[in-house]
């Protein structure tokens, strides 16, 4: 019975519940009516008996019982008829009320993975079905955005993976085409190893992002000093800055305690600082400042590079997205550094944002709750 009930349509369920409720109300009403009429008849009989001296009690009772029987017959016969008519009316009303859902279902069947740009028609946005359609349309919009990101991610990942593989294949074919000296073979193998290293870093980064999206990375949060952690990152990248004839200007005078995973947060800071070194010109400075603002810890990293144009700001944290394609590839970047930094900061309960104006360098602000 339960299985059959679960397989029935909403119309049938509404009609059944409506008919059952109506039947119960009619039974109660009929019983109350019968009792009230019976009580009224017998009160009237008692009054007539006291008013008349003659004893006609049996005939007055045989007449009341007859009338009560007729009333009961009418109630018993009329009850099923009324319930039947009410059930038909309830089904018609339910069908009419649920007709918009049929239209929504038909529209939803048309929307596939290739037609996610289409939306459900919303005839009335103020009723319950209209609000449901609006929610479904919002869901389709999010799905469309997710599918677009997935397509871009797949295309970009394929391109990034194909590039080092093509280079390795080209070096190998060139080395096999003719006999070369040991030094030339050594150079070729060195170039191949560089591409393998690049490919390995790319795969490791993709795996890290994939684990982050799946929630399989377990953070080991502890109380750490953001200022000390930042100074450590800057110190480890000091040699890279010297090679590019750049310098750091660090402003982190006091301890700023936060609760975070040290390694994950360090990766985020390192990616932002490395990004600042890549895009900053020679003889320029990278400004790094750590401070407290209310109950928040704030880390700002600013370079003196070309900045980020306004049209690129909304996508600066997208995976594989580059403002300058050619320059990023020459520097060995895959367009994943800012995506990793965003995930790492948000995983520790913080936020990251680009806060500088275009053509005045890029400044990124990381905000974390104080421990």
Residue 42 near residue 64, CB atoms below 8 Å: yes
| Listed range (15-19, 61-65, 274-278, 306-310) with the worst mean pLDDT | 61-65
Are residues 236 and 360 both part of a single domain?
Answer: yes
Domain final residue, candidates 171, 189, 214: 214
What's the pLDDT tens digit per position in 157-207?
776 677 778 778 888 887 778 788 888 888 888 888 877 877 887 777 777
Are residues 334 and 253 both part of a single domain?
Answer: yes
Are residues 283 and 342 both part of a single domain?
Answer: yes
Q: Is the pLDDT of residue 351 over 90?
A: yes
Beta bridge mates, 291 = 298
CA torsion sign for 25, 30, 33, 38 is: negative
Instruction: Between 51 and 198, name the one with better pLDDT.
Output: 198
Measure the CA–CA gap between 18 and 15, rounded to whole angstroms.
5
- Average the pLDDT over 237-256 and give the result: 88
CATH number at residue 175: 1.10.287.130
Who contacts 113 (Cβ-Cβ below 8 Å, separation ≥6)? 147
Are residues 364 and 264 both part of a single domain?
Answer: yes
Closest CA to 370 of 295, 304, 285: 295
Are residues 17 and 106 both part of a single domain?
Answer: yes
- Average the pLDDT over 280-309 and give the result: 89
Residue 338 near residue 362, CB atoms below 8 Å: no
* Residue 300, number of CB atoms within 10 A of its CB: 18
The CA-atom distances, in angstroms, between 134 and each of 102, 119, 128, 137, 146 are: 16, 9, 10, 5, 18
Using the structure block, give the residue that is written with the tokens 């104006």: 357
Instruction: Between 135 and 43, name the one with better pLDDT.
Output: 135
Give the pLDDT of residue 21. 72
**Centroid of chain to Cα 264:** 23
| Listed range (104-108, 272-276, 358-362) with the worst mean pLDDT | 358-362
Closest CA to 64 of 84, 98, 46, 38: 38
Phi, psi of 221 (to 5 degrees): -75, 140
- Look up residue 138 and give its two tokens: 């919002």
What does the buried/exposed string (b/e) look like for 108-120 if buried means 16 or more CB atoms within 10 Å of the residue's CB? Answer: eeebeeeebeebb
In a domain, residue 119? The reply is no
Closest CA to 284 of 248, 334, 234: 248
In a domain, residue 249? The reply is yes
Domain that holds residue 187: 128-214
Residue 268 near residue 352, CB atoms below 8 Å: yes
Who contacts 366 (Cβ-Cβ below 8 Å, separation ≥6)? 268, 269, 272, 298, 299, 300, 301, 345, 350, 351, 352
Measure the CA–CA gap between 242 and 239, rounded to whole angstroms.
5
Q: How many distinct structural domains can be found in the chain?
A: 3
Using the structure block, give the residue that is written with the tokens 């750091």: 248
Using the structure block, give the residue that is written with the tokens 């048309």: 110
Are residues 133 and 196 both part of a single domain?
Answer: yes
CA torsion sign for 79, 85, 89, 92 is: positive
Measure the CA–CA gap between 173 and 194, rounded to whole angstroms.
17
CA torsion sign for 269, 224, 212, 210 is: positive
Are residues 244 and 342 both part of a single domain?
Answer: yes
What's the pLDDT tens digit per position in 59-89?
556 766 776 676 677 677 777 777 777 777 7
Are residues 241 and 176 both part of a single domain?
Answer: no
- Look up residue 50 and give its two tokens: 């006291």
Confidence of residue 290 (pLDDT cuts 50, 70, 90): very high
Q: Is the pLDDT of residue 219 over 50?
A: yes
- Average the pLDDT over 275-279 and give the result: 87
């Amino acid at each position: 019975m339960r299985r059959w009930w679960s397989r029935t349509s909403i119309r049938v369920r509404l009609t059944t519940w409506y008919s059952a409720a109506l039947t119960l109300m009619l039974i109660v009403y009929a019983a109350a009516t019968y009792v009230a009429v019976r009580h009224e008849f017998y009160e009237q009989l008692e009054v007539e008996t006291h008013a008349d001296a003659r004893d006609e009690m049996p005939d007055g009772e045989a007449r009341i019982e007859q009338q009560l029987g007729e009333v009961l017959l009418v109630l018993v016969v009329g009850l099923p008829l009324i319930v039947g008519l009410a059930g038909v009316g309830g089904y018609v009303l339910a069908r009419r009320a649920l007709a918009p859902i049929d239209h929504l279902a038909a529209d939803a069947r048309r929307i596939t993975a290739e037609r996610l740009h289409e939306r459900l028609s919303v005839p009335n946005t103020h009723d319950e079905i209209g609000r449901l359609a609006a929610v479904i349309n919002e869901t389709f919009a999010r799905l469309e955005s997710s599918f677009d990101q997935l397509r871009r991610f797949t295309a970009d990942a394929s391109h990034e993976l194909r590039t080092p593989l093509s280079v390795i294949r080209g070096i190998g074919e060139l080395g096999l085409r003719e006999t070369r000296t040991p030094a030339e073979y050594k150079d070729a193998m060195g170039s191949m190893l560089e591409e393998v290293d690049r490919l390995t870093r790319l795969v490791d980064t993709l795996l890290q992002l994939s684990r982050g999206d799946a929630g399989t990375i377990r953070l080991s949060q502890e109380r750490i000093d953001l200022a000390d952690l930042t100074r450590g990152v800057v110190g480890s990248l000091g040699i890279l800055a010297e090679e590019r004839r750049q310098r750091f200007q660090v402003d982190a005078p006091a301890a700023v305690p936060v609760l975070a995973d040290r390694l994950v947060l360090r990766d985020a800071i390192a990616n932002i600082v490395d990004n600042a070194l890549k895009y900053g010109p020679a003889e320029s400075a990278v400004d790094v400042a750590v401070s407290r603002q209310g109950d928040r810890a704030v880390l700002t990293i600013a370079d003196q590079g070309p900045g980020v144009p306004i049209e690129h700001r909304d996508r600066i944290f997208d995976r594989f997205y580059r403002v300058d394609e050619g320059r990023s590839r020459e520097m060995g970047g895959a367009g994943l550094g800012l995506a990793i930094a965003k995930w790492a900061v948000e995983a520790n309960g913080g936020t990251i944002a680009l806060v500088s104006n275009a053509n005045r360098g890029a400044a990124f602000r990381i905000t974390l709750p104080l421990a």
